[in-house]
Amino acid sequence: MSLSFYSYPKCGTCRKAKKWLEDNNADFNKIHIVENPPSKDELKSLYEKSGLPLKKFFNTSGKKYRELGLKDKVNSASDEELLEILSSDGMLIKRPLTTDGSKVTVGFKEETFEETWK
């Protein structure tokens, strides 16, 4: 089973996650999250499969997030609006975003990767 691994090459967290996947011999397809961000429909599917609140998909520490003043918006906007915003720019999505088509992880925590992808 091959994982889809949405990441950004300059992101330290993404590099750590990639190293973990390589060290654990995971079969994965690396996708540049800015050049090839997931579509609105893909994001909706990932969100539904993840069991996480949609606001967990936002890169809240990113410059773009702050520039667009999304802090208040994520608490009041509809899921539809949030998916539209997320799909508009890969830099708004928390990374890495990893999926095998049924399970999804957002960000990188070694223990979560251990549980989910080992």
Cα–Cα distance, 24 to 67 (Å, whole number): 37
Please tell me the CATH code under which domain 3-117 is placed: 3.40.30.10
- pLDDT for position 87: 97
Q: Give me the percent of the chain exceeding a pLDDT of 70.
A: 99
- pLDDT for position 111: 97
Cα–Cα distance, 36 to 72 (Å, whole number): 27
Cα–Cα distance, 23 to 56 (Å, whole number): 27
Task: Read off the pLDDT of residues 77-105 as tens digits, 9 standing for 90 and up.
Answer: 999 999 999 999 999 999 999 999 999 99
Entry pTM: 0.95
The yes-or-no verdict on residue 1 having pLDDT over 80 is no
Average confidence (pLDDT) over 51-72: 95
- pLDDT for position 25: 97
Q: Domain map of the chain by residue range?
A: 3-117
- Secondary structure (3-state) at 106: strand
Cα–Cα distance, 89 to 34 (Å, whole number): 7
